[in-house]
Amino acid sequence: MTRAGLVALVLAVSAACGGGGTDNVLTVAMMPKNKGNPYFASCRVGAEAAAKELNVRLLWDGPTETDPAKQNEVVDAWITRGVDVIAVSVENKEALSTVLRKARTRGIKVITWDADAEPDARDYFVNQATPRGIAETLAGHTARLLDGRGEFGVITASLTAANQNEWLRQLRAVLAERYPDLTLVDVRPSDDDRRRAFEETQTMLKVHPGVRVIMAIASPAVPGAAEAVKQSGRTDVRVTGLGLPGDAKPYLKDGVLDSAVLWNTEDLGFLTMYTAHALATGALKPGVTSLSAGRLGTRQVDGDQVILGTPFTFTKDNVDQFKF
Amino acid sequence: MSALTVERSLALCLAIEIAIFALLGSNFVTLQNAGEIIRASAETGLLALALTPIILTGGIDLSVGSLLALCAVVFGMTWADAGWPIPLAAGAAIAAGLAGGALNALLVARLQVPPLIVTLGTFSLFRGIAEGATAGVRNYSNFPDAFLFLGQGAVGFIPSQFVILLAAAVAIWLLVHRMTVGRTLSAIGFSIDGARHAGLPVARRLSLVYVLSGLAAAVAALLYVARLGQAKADAGTGFELTAITAVVLGGTSIFGGRGSVRGTLLGLATLAVLQNGLRLSDLPAELAGVVTAVLLVAALGASRAFERDT
């Protein structure tokens, strides 16, 4: 390799790419927890659609491996680069909050989406689903399956999981207000493990023969519970829950699983980009209570959280459209 | 092709890299960014420096990333759970690093088990202990600001880690290139039996470099915890491979005998600038893997060509 050849390479590459961007296009840097996860790939589709509509330059980068320091390094590079908005789905709250605070002190707007950082480390959190919304949707499906009256049991993550316990609290409140004849007879843990969910569901069916609906509120618990019901041969018992369409698909097709609740991931990416744009242009500031988000219409802003809205339900009819 | 030529071509690669990113990147050529590059590479840098004398003896230490995690967890536990003051907890982490290094040293130097097998074992062992002690999920955080300064602070644009990295580089350089120990290490790398017959203290020298590697892992653990503000059992995942890549890229022969600390630093800089530059140029960071592979094959090819010549 000659020096002249290398210099020519440098010139060719730089000519092809045309120097660093100093134009006035808004640059939004968006980071998933993991670039390789289809869940986030689906969020990216929505974010790119919104970026196109808003004429925003979207940088999409994040870890591809399990090195917990990677998210910090990417944000550090974005700070140096001087982007306008950083939007992160936070893997490691404590670790990332430090560097997000640093970004804010440098005048960069910071949003979290999908998973939040510490509140003082970001301007807004794009919240994909409120605990209340999740509880209402799941209770609604259960009531529909039981015609408003009967017993059901819950398979949760672990008995100490903060998210799940908040959902259960809201679920009990919704039951008391709207569905007094639905009875939650038992809550059993799955420890986020499919096999454990399978065993606990078998136990639940034996101990409480009157249970007609199993509600699995951790994503590995959905296929675990569905498999247990399927193998039990109890055609009078149905499963609903909170889970990924990919896991749910075979059981939805079987009919054992009635529905799996999550949120529309493309809409989540789309709304995050609109939030970033509104924040950078000053349309979104403290005191604002709603945000106009293109094809999504107007979305509620609750304090420092932008709410995506009611959860999305996957059924046997729509599950084929989703690839994660 | 001489060792100096390997270093020269690597320095040229680095210069080209910098030229390309200066053109493509935003705010790439700033003192601030130079500081950030040093900050991001301080931990792998310490590991790479400690691996240089090990690889010089024809050995390898795959356990450094896992030992980093174990030391981080020991530090977090003794501080948060046992309530020890920071200096004492840091002492415990260093003791854990030295103990881990001593275990490798015992097996490699005294029992003469091949280092690849020993450290492949301790690679699993150290992280296994760290995960077991914390159930894999316990995350220690909220360390005091004075400690976090070690990882996040800067004087001007010079990050605090720079001082430690510089001291380590000077110390390892003296050891390898200015002391008789360094000659012994090379001799072991060229022929371990020859070194024994020549009456060199092979076991003692091997022990020294593996224990040093443990010490480096412990110091890197403290820098890592201070930089991220958290200590968890997944710390330093994959760091051993980055460190080994930097050493080999720097012209140190993986078969032992030949190598230089300056080369390791050049290799480290080449990798760190590549990662940083790709991000600042909006190029996909995955390209780093491809470019690293090309550089590595080129460096290996160069060292093989050199070996054939001699």
Instruction: For A1-27, write each residue's pLDDT tens digit.
Output: 445 555 555 444 444 444 444 467 999
Q: Which residues of B touch A65 (CB under 8 A)?
A: 237-238
Closest Cα of chain B to A157: distance in Å?
15
Write the pLDDT tens digit of every residue in B160-218: 999 999 999 999 999 999 999 999 999 999 999 999 999 999 999 999 999 999 999 99
Mean pLDDT of chain B: 92
Is the reported ipTM for this assembly greater than 0.90? Answer: no
Q: Which residues of A touch B237 (CB under 8 A)?
A: 65-68
A-to-B residue pairs, Cβ atoms closer than 8 angstroms: 99
How many residues does this entry show for chain B? 310
pLDDT at B306 (0 to 100): 64
Please compute the mean of the pLDDT values over residues A103-121 and round it to a whole number.
94
Answer whether A65 sits within 8 Å of B237, measured CB to CB: yes
Q: Among A107, A104, A70, which Cα is nearest to A90's?
A: A70
Answer whether B141 sits within 8 Å of A6, measured CB to CB: no
pLDDT at B310 (0 to 100): 53
Kindly report the pTM of this predicted structure. Answer: 0.80
pLDDT at B262 (0 to 100): 95
Collapsing DSSP to helix, strand or coil, A25 comes out as coil
pLDDT at A63 (0 to 100): 85
pLDDT at B74 (0 to 100): 98
Closest Cα of chain A to B50: distance in Å?
21
Q: Looking at the complex, does the CB of residue B238 fall below 8 Å from at least one CB of chain A?
A: yes
Answer whether B32 sits within 8 Å of A98, measured CB to CB: no
Answer whether A78 sits within 8 Å of B279, measured CB to CB: yes
Q: Looking at the complex, does the CB of residue A95 fall below 8 Å from at least one CB of chain B?
A: yes
Residue B170 tokens read as 């000077």
pLDDT at A68 (0 to 100): 74
